[in-house]
Amino acid sequence: MGPDIAEGVRRIKSQDGPDIVLWGSSTLTSTLLEHGLADEVLLIVYPVLLGTGKRFFAQGTLPRSFQLLNTRAMPSGIIFSTYKVAGGLKAG
């Protein structure tokens, strides 16, 4: 990808090919959102409370709004919610 992650992802996205999927990187997810390179976010919620763990978004990630596209609940209780990135928060 090169030393500039955002530019590397821009280059890959400009090429023909399948969708790009990022799995489980709070640091990279925040970088992609900051540079407008993430189109959708899939949140998977498991019915388990651990008490501690890694944050989904890195500390310092700018506030964003998302539009819900789809939600699926599995028999196990796991919930899949797909969101479209809608941009920065608008003042109320």
Superfamily for 5-87? Dihydrofolate Reductase, subunit A (3.40.430.10)
How far is 35 from 18, CA to CA, in rounded Å? 21
Tokens of 43: 């949140």
How far is 92 from 24, CA to CA, in rounded Å? 32
* Nearest alpha-carbon partner for 40 in 16, 67, 58: 67
Q: Which pLDDT score, from 0 to 100, does residue 53 have? A: 76
The domain limits of the chain are: 5-87
For 22, phi then psi, to 5°, come to: -105, 130
Residue 1: which pLDDT band, with cuts at 50, 70 and 90? low
How far is 58 from 6, CA to CA, in rounded Å? 16
Is the model's pLDDT at 81 over the cut of 90?
Answer: yes
How far is 88 from 92, CA to CA, in rounded Å? 12
pLDDT digits (tens, 9 = 90+) for 23-69: 877 778 888 888 889 889 888 998 988 888 777 777 888 888 899 99
